[in-house]
Amino acid sequence: MLDLVWLIPLFPAIGFLINGLLGKRLGKGAVSVVGPSAIGLSFLTAVLIFFELIGRTPAERIFEKEIFAWVVSGSFKTVIGYQIDPLSMVMALVVTGVSFLIHIYSVGYMHDDPGFTRYFTYLNLFVFMMLNLVLANNFLLMFVGWEGVGLCSYLLIGFWYEKDSASNAGKKAFVVNRVGDFGFLLGIFLLFVHFGTLDFTDLFGALQKNPQMISVETATAITILLFVGACGKSAQLPLYVWLPDAMEGPTPVSSLIHAATMVTAGVYMVARCNVLYTLAPLSMAVVATVGVATAIFAASIGFCQNDIKKVLAYSTISQLGYMFVGVGVGAFSAGIFHLMTHAFFKGLLFLGAGSIMHALSGELDMRKMGGLRKKTPVTFWTFFFATLAIAGIPPFSGFFSKDEILWQAFSSPHGHFLLWLVGAVAAGMTAFYMFRAVFMTFWGECRADEEVKHHIHESPRIMTIPLTILMVLSIIGGWVGIPHVLGGGNHFHEFLAPVVGGAEPGKAHAGISLLAQAWASSGEGAGHSAALEILLMVVSVAIALIGIGIAYLFYVKRPELPARLAERRRGLYRLVLNKYYVDEIYQVLFVDSLKRLGTGLWRGFDEFVIDGTVNGIAYFLGWISSVLRRVQTGLVQNYAFSILAGGVVLAVYYLLRSLF
Amino acid sequence: MAENIGILFQWLVFLGMAFTSIVASLFLITRKNPIHSALLLVLNFLCVAVIYLLLQSQFIAVIQVIVYAGAIVMLVVFVIMLLDLEEELRSGLRLLYSKVFGVGLAGLFLVAIVYSVAASSLTGKRGPYTPDKLQANVKAVGEVLFTDYLFPFEIVSILIVAAIVGAVVLSKKKSR
Amino acid sequence: MTIPEVPPVLYLVLSGILFTIGVIGALTRRNALVVFMCIELMLNAVNLTFITFSRFLQSLDGVLFAFFVMAVAAAEAAVGLAIFVLVYRSRGTINVDEVNLLKW
Residue A516 has pLDDT above 60, yes or no: no
Contact C44 B51 (CB under 8 A): no
What one-character DSSP code corresponds to residue A241? T
- The answer to whether A19 and A117 are in contact (CB under 8 A) is yes
Least confident of A470-474, A631-635, B21-25: A631-635
Q: Going by C-beta distance under 8 Å and a sequence separation of 6 or more, which residues neighbour residue A29? A: none
Rounded to a whole number, what is the distance in Å from the CA of B154 to chain A's nearest CA?
31
**Quick one: CA torsion of A33, A34, A40, A41, rounded to 10 degrees?**
130
Higher pLDDT, B104 or A498: B104
Amino acid at C18: L
CATH class of B1-82: mainly alpha
Give how far the C-alpha of residue A634 lies from the chain's centroid of Cα atoms, to the nearest Å.
78
Residue A174 phi, psi dihedral angles, 5° rounding? -65, -45
Asked if A655 and B106 come within 8 Å (Cβ–Cβ), the reply is no
Backbone angles phi, psi at B129, to 5 degrees: -90, 85
Rounded to an integer, what distance in angstroms lies between the CA atom of residue A361 and that of residue A339? 32
- Which of C12, C97, C9, C43 has its CA nearest to residue B41? C43
The rounded distance, in Å, linking the Cα atoms of A332 and A267 is 9
Which residues 30-59 of B are in CB contact (within 8 Å) with A? none
Reference A279, options A87, A85, A140, A414; nearest CA is: A414
Query: Is residue A72 within a helix (H) or strand (E), and if so which, with residue range?
Result: strand A63-73
How many beta-carbon pairs under 8 angstroms link B with C?
238
The CA distance from A382 to A378, in Å, is 6
Backbone angles phi, psi at A411, to 5 degrees: -105, -15
Answer whether residue A599 shows pLDDT above 50.
yes
What DSSP letter does each residue of A444-505 carry, written as one string?
S---S-HHHHHT--PPPHHHHHHHHHHHHHHHHGGGGG--GGGT---HHHHHHHHHHS-PPT
Q: What are the two backbone dihedrals, phi and then psi, of residue A79, each rounded to the nearest 5 degrees? A: -120, 160
Q: Cα–Cα distance between A407 and A422 in angstroms, integer?
A: 13
Per-residue pLDDT band at A503 (split at 50, 70, 90):
very low
Phi first, then psi: what are they for A83, rounded to 5°? Answer: -120, 130
> Would you list the DSSP string of A210-235?
-GGGS-HHHHHHHHHHHHHHHHHHTT
- Nearest by Cα to A367 from A310, A314, A431: A310
Average pLDDT over residues A465-488: 81
Contact between chains at B94 and C31 (C-beta distance less than 8 A): no
C-beta atoms surrounding B41 within 10 Å:
26
Contact C27 B38 (CB under 8 A): no
Q: What is the pLDDT of residue A511?
A: 35
Q: Provide the ipTM.
A: 0.92
Whether A425 has a pLDDT exceeding 60, the answer reads yes
Count other C-beta atoms under 10 Å from residue A524's C-beta: 16
Q: Which residues of C touch B52 (CB under 8 A)?
A: 48, 51
Q: Give the residue from chain A lying closest to B112, CA to CA.
A: A652
Query: Chain A: which residues have CB within 8 Å of chain C?
Result: 629-630, 632-637, 640-641, 644
| Local structure of residue A507 (DSSP, 8 states) | S
Which residues of chain B lie closer than 8 angstroms to A647, CB-CB?
109
Distance from C-alpha of A561 to C-alpha of A538, rounded to nearest angstrom: 29
Q: Compute the distance between CA of residue A440 and CA of residue A407 in angstroms, rounded to an integer.
A: 32
Give the C-alpha separation, A235 to A95, whole Å. Answer: 19
Q: Tell if the CB–CB gap between A641 and B102 is shorter than 8 Å.
A: yes
Whole-number Å distance between alpha carbons of A641 and A645: 6
Which residues does residue A73 pair with via DSSP β-bridges, in sequence order? A76
C104:A635 CB<8 A: no
How many whole angstroms separate alpha carbon A354 and alpha carbon A351? 5
The phi, psi pair for A482, rounded to 5°, reads -65, 125
Picking from A51-60, A184-193, B165-174, which range would have the lowest pLDDT averaged per residue? A51-60
Amino acid at B78: F
Residues A394 and A541 sit within 8 Å (Cβ to Cβ): yes
pLDDT (tens digit per residue) in B34-65? 999 999 999 999 999 999 999 989 999 999 99
Q: How many residues does chain B have?
A: 176
Pick from C24, C47, C58: which is nearest to B130 by CB?
Answer: C58
pLDDT tens digits, one per residue of A553-570: 888 777 777 777 777 877
CB A160 within 8 A of CB A198: no
Q: Which of B102, B105, B116 sits opposite A655 (nearest CB)?
A: B116
Question: How many residues make up chain A in this entry?
Answer: 660
Q: What is the CA radius of gyration of chain B?
A: 21
Judge whether residue A460 has pLDDT over 90.
no
Question: DSSP code of C23?
Answer: H
The whole-angstrom separation of Cα B111 and Cα B99 is 19
Residues of B with Cβ-Cβ distance to C72 under 8 angstroms: 156, 159
Domain ranges (residues) in chain A = 328-569, 583-659
pLDDT at C37 over 90: yes
pLDDT above 90 (res B90): no
The radius of gyration of chain A's CA atoms, rounded to the nearest angstrom, is 31
Q: What is the pTM of this model?
A: 0.70
Question: Could you tell me if C28 and B102 are in contact, meaning their C-beta atoms sit under 8 angstroms apart?
Answer: yes
Q: How far is C10 from chain B (nearest CA, A)?
A: 9
Q: Which residue of C has its CA nearest to A627?
A: C104
Looking at residue A241, its amino acid is V
Residue ranges covered by each domain of chain B = 1-82, 85-120, 131-176
B chain contacts of residue A648, beta-carbon cutoff 8 Å: 105, 108-109, 112
Candidate from A496-500, C23-27, C30-34 with smallest mean pLDDT:
A496-500
- Residue A211 or A250, more confident: A250
Picking from A534, A536, A504, A529, the residue whose alpha carbon sits closest to that of residue A519 is A504
Closest CA to A262 of A105, A131, A90: A131
* Burial degree of A55 (CB within 10 A; 0-12, 13-18, 19+): exposed
Q: What is the pLDDT of residues A349-359, one digit of tens each?
A: 999 999 888 88
Q: Give the integer Cα–Cα distance in Å for A89 and A447.
A: 46
C-beta atoms of B109 and A644 within 8 A:
yes
Distance from CA of B78 to the nearest CA of C (A): 10
Q: Chain B within 8 Å of C99 (Cβ-Cβ)?
A: no
Q: What ranges make up the beta strands (E) of A185-294?
A: none
* Averaged pLDDT, A208-226: 85
Residues 23-42 of C with CB under 8 A from A: 23, 26-28, 35
| Inter-residue contact C96 to A640 (CB < 8 Å) | no
> Measured between alpha carbons, how far is A559 from A577 in angstroms, rounded to an integer?
18
C-alpha distances out from residue B153 to B159, C67, C72, Å: 10, 10, 11
Phi-psi region of C82 (alpha: psi -120 to 50; beta: other; left: phi over 0): alpha
* A518-528 residue pLDDT tens: 343 344 444 46
Mutate which of C67, C68, C76 to test chain B, going by most B C-beta atoms within 10 A? Answer: C67
Q: What angle do CA B107, B108, B110 make, to 5 degrees?
A: 65
User: Using CA atoms, how far apart are residues A6 and A87, in angstroms rounded to an integer?
Assistant: 17
Q: What is the mean pLDDT of residues C73-93?
A: 91
pLDDT of residue A378: 87
Please give the average per-residue pLDDT across C49-61, as a whole number.
90
> Mean of the pLDDT values across residues A132-141?
91
- Of A653 and A449, which is predicted with more confidence? A653
Torsion of CA A18, A22, A28, A34, to 10 degrees: -10
pLDDT confidence band for A182 (50 / 70 / 90): very high
Instruction: Give the gap in angstroms from C-alpha A632 to the nearest C-alpha of chain B.
Output: 16
- Over 50: is that where the pLDDT of A536 sits? yes
**Cβ contacts of B105 on chain A, cutoff 8 Å:** 641, 644-645, 648
Question: Looking at per-residue confidence, does A261 or B10 come out higher?
Answer: B10
Q: What is the pLDDT of residues A355-392, one digit of tens each?
A: 888 888 778 888 888 878 888 888 889 999 999 999 88
CA distance B143 to B106: 39
AA letter at A66: E
Q: Rounded distance, CA C80 to CA C40, Å?
A: 12
pLDDT confidence band for A505 (50 / 70 / 90): very low
